[in-house]
Every structure is written in structure tokens, then in C-alpha cells.
Amino acid sequence: MAEQWLEAATHIVPADAPDRDNRSLVRAHRCTHGERIDSVECLIEEVPVALVYNGVSHAVMLASPSDLDDFALGFSLAEGILASPDELFDIEIEHGCRGIEVQMRIHGQRFAGLKARRRALAGRTGCGLCGVESLEAAERRLSPVRRGAPVGARAVVEAVEALYEHQELHRATRAAHAAAWAMPSGEIVRTREDVGRHNALDKLIGALAREGIDVTNGFAVVTSRASVEMVQKAASAGIGLLAAVSAPTGMAVDQARHANLTLIGNARHGRLTCYSHPDGLIDD
């Protein structure tokens, strides 16, 4: 029986899989109705990823080890370290025995501002405000988002329902979050996955910025609750509509209202709830 499970499991992680490093096979035991059988389970990986700017380590996050160039750029933009992608001059990814270093060379003025902030994040899966040194620092002032044309509610529902088919890592491990970019029609055109929900959104933001995709023409969908940091990251990237499959927090709604962002929660099973700026959504 164990050999049969092993044979089946090896097909979960094909040798040419683009995110093979995100998964590992682990021997385990399954118990069903009192019967225990040997099995081989496909688990998601998380590794320490150090984000290093001009030779100085700024943050160590636990993340899935794929799309790290998108992750580094998206994190830098969402955290206000960089104002635009062209302020990132070079990026190198170095694998070591203790984790991965993402070495970035950024504009000197931005590096000076980073040193002045002295913000060091101690990475933890799902961590939101680790390393913020004061309550004042936790309250970010967001510039109002320039929203594009309103999006149809049906398009949001269709994007949410289609998202699972774009979650290869989650289908294999049942442990990955996803952030996706959808066109106004509801068609998903970019998806990024990670063990951490914030990381998945950072990766998506980085991919959109790297490819020059117009964020006023579409919306973002995430497979998590809409926490305040998810709203902050979306607004910092200029995203005007964020749809989450779970509910938002009260502070997230307040931030969305101040940022002119249309925030949708509980988007699942053909339903959704709009919590801020409903003019960004069309009932169709």
C-alpha cells in the first residue's frame, strides 16, 4: 500500500513543475474510520527569505520559494520602500543552507530613506505589522486610489469561482494562499501563490508592476480575509477594487474608505458583500 501511495504522490510534483521547490513529499499515516494506512503527503514549503537592500538586510520573511523577484519588488512597492519599479536597479537571488537572500540594489535616495526608518520585520507566516516600532508607524496614511470604470458584480463572482483552477500549488498541498488579477470581464490573467497571504499579494503586485499592467483596468482577488495590511498593500499599488473570499476587519474597512478603495468581502458561493465605495461595483 505504501508503494502505491508513493507512486501516486510522485506524480504530484513532476520534475518539470515550475514551482517544484514549493513542495515536498513526506511519509505520514492516514486514519480513516479506525483504519490506519501509510501514505506519502505533498506539503507546502516555507523558507526564510531575507530581503537585502544595498547590502543591508531589512526583513526576513517566511515564504514559498517561488516568484521571489516578484515578491521582492511587490514588497518594496507595497511597503513604500520604492516609489516605482525603475528604482530597483538590480536583483540577485542567492540560495544558502539557511535560506534565501534576495539582494537588491536600489536608488540611493530610497536607501537613505530606508535607513532612516530603521524598520526591521521579523518574518512570520501571516505576519502583518511585525517590526513596527510604534503605534504611529502602524497607521499608514494612504493616498486616494484612482479607480477606473466600475466592475460588474457578476465579473467578481466569476473570478472568485474560477480562482481555484489557477491555484496549482493549493490543489497539490491544500495550504497555499493566492492573489490574482482579473480583467473587468472577470477573466483571471495573473495568479501568484504563497504560504502567506500577504506574500501572495506582494508577489502579485510585483508581477503587475514588472509587466506594466494597468491596475486601473481590473481588480484583485485574494483567498483570505481582508486584513488592514492587505488593504494597505492594494491601495499602495493603486488597486481600486479588492475582493476577498472571507470577511474584512473593521480597521480594514476604515482604511479602504479613506483610500477610495472598493472593498469586497465574503465573495463566495455566488454572493459578495461590498463594504466601501459601492460606486466601484455595478449590480448586473
What are the strands of the beta sheet with 121-122, ordered from one edge? 88-95, 100-106, 47-53, 56-63, 121-122
Q: Which CATH class is domain 47-138?
A: alpha beta
Residue 137 pLDDT? 52
Kindly list the domain boundaries of the chain, sorted by start residue. 2-44, 47-138, 151-282
User: What is the predicted pLDDT for the residue at 10?
Assistant: 43
Residue % of the chain over a pLDDT of 70: 85
Please give the positions annotated as active site.
Answer: 127
Look up the CATH architecture of domain 151-282. 3-Layer(aba) Sandwich (3.40)
pTM of the model: 0.87
More confident residue, 126 or 150: 150
CA 18 to chain centre: 18
The torsion defined by the Cα of 214, 230, 142 and 156, in degrees rounded to 10, comes to 50
Query: Strand order in 188-194's β-sheet?
Result: 188-194, 177-182, 219-222, 241-244, 262-268, 271-276
- Per DSSP, the three-state class of 201 is helix
Highest mean pLDDT: which range of 3-7, 135-139, 183-187: 183-187
CA distance 205 to 227: 16
What's residue 282's pLDDT?
A: 95
Domains 47-138 and 151-282 share a fold: no
Contacts of 21 (CB under 8 A, 6+ apart): 45, 65, 66
Q: What pLDDT band is residue 117 in, cutting at 50, 70 and 90?
A: confident
Position 234: which residue type?
A
70 pLDDT more than 90: yes
User: Of the ranges 132-136, 142-146, 176-180, 182-186, which one carries the lowest mean pLDDT score?
Assistant: 132-136
pLDDT one-digit tens code per residue, 165-188: 999 999 999 999 999 999 999 999
The DSSP code for 224 is S
